[in-house]
Amino acid sequence: MSVYQPQDPGFADRVRESFARQSIMELLGARISRVEPGEVEIELPFRPDLCQQHGFFHAGVTSTIADSAGGYAGFSLFPADASVLTVEFKVNLLAPADGNLLRATGRVIKPGRTLTVTEAEVIVVKNGGQRTCAHMVQTLMCLQGRPDMPAAG
């Protein structure tokens, strides 16, 4: 159960619609598996073309879904007329992302009017087990009065 109340009652649809416009997520094959106020989960099934030289998910792929999970967790609490931009993030790669599924769960740590701080845990699933492979801390900017746009201008 979330401790946050969204400003927009249509937050879940707004998050899913924005996610659907992220062509990088489509390219990777990522999907949103859960949207709650202040928390978003993204899953990415294994594909060989998403790997580095040892056959693990590439750190860039892992970081990309962590960034989106945290970003959309924050976005879920923003007003309906706002959009989101990542200001910065730091990712700690804790273990090789060796498995058949990545799951990034983004959570709001501290919501704010302009800046929001989130974190994301990325787990890798393999043979029925799972372990944390990455942790991200992120700062987001809420662009009020600039609704999430279908195309960059």
Element housing 17 (H / E): helix 11-20
* CATH code, 11-143: 3.10.129.10
Residue boundaries of the structural domains of the chain: 11-143
106-128 confidence digits (pLDDT tens): 999 999 999 999 999 999 999 99
Indicate yes or no: pTM above 0.85. yes
- The 10s digit of each residue's pLDDT in 39-65 is 999 999 999 999 999 999 999 999 999
Q: Name the DSSP class of 151.
A: S
**C-alpha closest to that of 44 among 65, 60, 63, 23:** 65
Phi, psi for residue 53 in degrees, rounded to 5: -65, -15
Residue 1 in this model has a pLDDT that exceeds 70? no
